[in-house]
Structure 1
Amino acid sequence: MDEIEVVVAHAERATLRAGDVFLKVDADQARAGVEVEAMSLAPVPTARVLWRRPPVLALAAVPGRALARLGEPSTASSAAWAAAGAAVRRLHEAPLPPWPGRRRRSPDEVAAELDGECAALVAQGLLPADLVARNRQVAEAALRPWTPVFTHGDLQIEHVFVDGDEVTGILDWSEAGRGDALFDLATLTIGHGEHLDDVIAGYGAGVDRDVIRAWWSVRSLLGVRWLVEHGFDPFAPRCEVDVLRARM
């Protein structure tokens, strides 16, 4: 082992890679508990738990590489994206977990948070008013009743590993619980909308593209200020601000 890789780090949690081991440090041990149990229940490939000594959880690395990186073009094949869609479908068709996971906000609660965040984005000069208003309009399609399924809850492309055209592991289950299936699909494809059709081809029927695009706007609007405040760059190519601009 030549070095330790910082996979992600901020005030709430950090993930380090040391050789073939991922070390996860979480300020909220309830999240770590959810992650361990979710991996034991999910009908998809996950990382093997090596040991847990709070606040550290050690996981074995999975083979392959991330499906893509936010902000970078994907080099994975269309078949790999379809395989990811099929894996997500298996998860969503599994029995609901015996625990709800982190409480999901109601449509009215999301709408109220969005309205406050949109006002702050404009007031602080982070984004132009017309861009915010258009995406707030698009976001409305996501704010509807949904039937809960077993969701990953944070299905970013960096959390899905593939080897060739096969999914070898899905990581970071701390947000798992009962949620909206289309939120998972939107999280997977945000910033890589060119692969949405591939994902849907693997996932199958029951997908409303307008709702997925609406979740892209919701996630981006709610994420911009947090990312800036935590040292990330939502203005980078293919990231949140580009997602919002694509809705104009």
Structure 2
Amino acid sequence: MKTKLLTLGSLLFSFSVYSAEDLNPDTPDPGDHSKVSNMFEATYGIKGVGDENLNHLQLAIQQSGQFDNGHYFLGKAEIKADEVIKNSQGDTDFEVTEFRARYFQLAQFDSERFPVAGISLDYIERGMQDDVTERMFALGAVTRTVTPLENWLLFPYVMAVYAQNDDNYLYPGFADKNGWGVQFNVLNTFYLNKNGANFQLNPYFTSLDFGGDLGTVNSLLVEYSLQSPISDNKKHWLQFTYNQYFSDANTTTFEHNRDDAELLLTYNYFF
């Protein structure tokens, strides 16, 4: 079993000081959410790389900008569909597996070490698939930490997580109806040039108590990605992502789940 990790990833490229010097104010930049912008996102990928090699599709819409009081905001809604194994013979169906909505609000502070901080709200609906958790709610706090390198953005991030579990998994002693936990993330973005190209290394650690025999499950997702504009006007971007998963679900040790590895290609269009 793999618990759902509340990834933040490229949503928090905010407030970069390493953007292109020649960009005009209307040029799209995923690294600057202080601009009011609309974005469409499409992702195709493979789950279980080198093992099951199942197809994955994700579509999203995002808007970010700034309120009159100077606070920054970002909202994103996305829907995911996956090729799912239906029986022991290996037959598969392609079906919707998740809907997600996220909202972030951040403000600038007069602090040399933590110049930006804010809150996040996250809702995930997974009731359309066969899994322990049907839906999750999370409330988080995030801050930007000043780093010694101009091209390195660092965002420590913590979330309180509440999960509602599927009634089909509530047979005596296995799990409770409600689960509680926390997630700790350290988001790292390294800008590679003044064109906006960047590399991300983002570990996400989650500890979620399901109750019953299942108990507390600890999970780690390590996300590696490379993103770059593919047009002169910076309206079109591509991102390559590779994800690795680790957990102690149904084991006594923390193990690398090699059959859960993901390889993703994401296209972003700003309009």
Q: TM-score, normalised by structure 2?
A: 0.25
**TM-score scaled by structure 1?**
0.26
| Larger gyration radius, structure 1 or structure 2 | 2
Q: Which has the higher helix share?
A: 1
